[in-house]
Structure 1
Amino acid sequence: MKAITYNAYGTPTRLELVDVPEPKVGPSEVLIRVKAAGVNPVDWKLAAGFLGQVLEVRHPVIPGWDVAGVVEAVGPDTDDYAVG
């Protein structure tokens, strides 16, 4: 799968398109094939290093809090969502 990532704080020039392994779905998680994403203030402030003391960050980071897409998989403890 493709993802936009960054490995260090800084400007948008640090963003890279890379191949990453498809994530495994946990018991109460949902996997979404993202069709659209937005950039909100948390995304750019975190990438710039302004929120490092508030939110735990492990590089590389795949930014994105606001997404829309299709549910690809659901964990066994997930009752509110279904594939599709």
Structure 2
Amino acid sequence: MRAVVVEQWGGPEQLVERELARPEPGLNEVLVRVHAAGVNPVDWKTRASGGLIEWGAVPAVGWDVSGTVEAVGPGVGVHRPGDEVYGMPLFPRQAGAYAEYVVAPARHLAPKPASLTHVEAAALPLAGLTAWQALVDAADVRPGERVLV
């Protein structure tokens, strides 16, 4: 499969396309055919410095992803092949969402809302989580309250 990796820390010119073996789902994991991957500040900050996450043998990049379940591993009951899903698998360990396929724990993915495109869904996980944490966890915003953004 084609995948974008970094072989050296630095700017966007360090992103290179490589052929990698297609991953196989293990226990409680799903294989997702990637339709879109999101790009967040943590992506470029990690690429620039090599910090912030645990790197594997081939530094694969990208977390936010949207796609279609291609296969499921043993123990997966919540997703089936053909399901459209999105999520932010494995963070802060590398997930490798900038690839044709990504393996993720089934619980790290949610059904993609039918009202969203894959591009829109891939842009949502980290940004949505950040907004939720700011509004619900930190600010304790309640139903009916107004928030100035």
TM-score range, shorter chain: 0.7 to 0.9
- Of 76, 81, 84, 1:83 maps to 81
RMSD (CA atoms) = 1.4
Structure with larger Rg: 2
Map of 1:38 onto structure 2: 38
Question: Which deviations, in whole Å up to 9, do the C-alpha atoms of 1:3-48 show, x marking residues without a partner?
Answer: 0111121111011111110001111111110011111122111111
5+ residue gaps, structure 2, are 83-149
Deviation at 1:60, TM superposition (A): 2.3
The letter of the residue matching 1:72 is E
Structure showing the higher helix proportion among its residues: 2
- The answer as to whether partners of 1:6 and 1:59 remain within 8 angstroms in 2 is no
- The answer as to whether partners of 1:5 and 1:15 remain within 8 angstroms in 2 is yes
5+ residue gaps, structure 1, are none
Question: Aligned pair 1:20/2:29, yes or no?
Answer: no
When normalised by structure 1's length, the TM-score is 0.87
Between the aligned partners of 2:34 and 2:60, the Cα distance in structure 1 is: 13
Question: Which deviations, in whole Å up to 9, do the C-alpha atoms of 1:31-80 show, x marking residues without a partner?
Answer: 11001111112211111116x2x421235222111111110011111111
- The answer as to whether partners of 1:29 and 1:75 remain within 8 angstroms in 2 is yes
Question: Aligned pair 1:9/2:9, yes or no?
Answer: yes
When normalised by structure 2's length, the TM-score is 0.51
Between the aligned partners of 1:2 and 1:62, the Cα distance in structure 2 is: 11
SS of 1:8's equivalent?
coil
The letter of the residue matching 2:61 is P
Of structures 1 and 2, the one with the larger relative CO (CA 8 A, separation 6+) is: 1
SS of 1:62's equivalent?
coil
Question: Aligned residue pairs: how many?
Answer: 82
Tell me which stretches of 4 or more aligned residues in structure 1 moved more than 3 Å.
none
Structure showing the higher strand proportion among its residues: 1
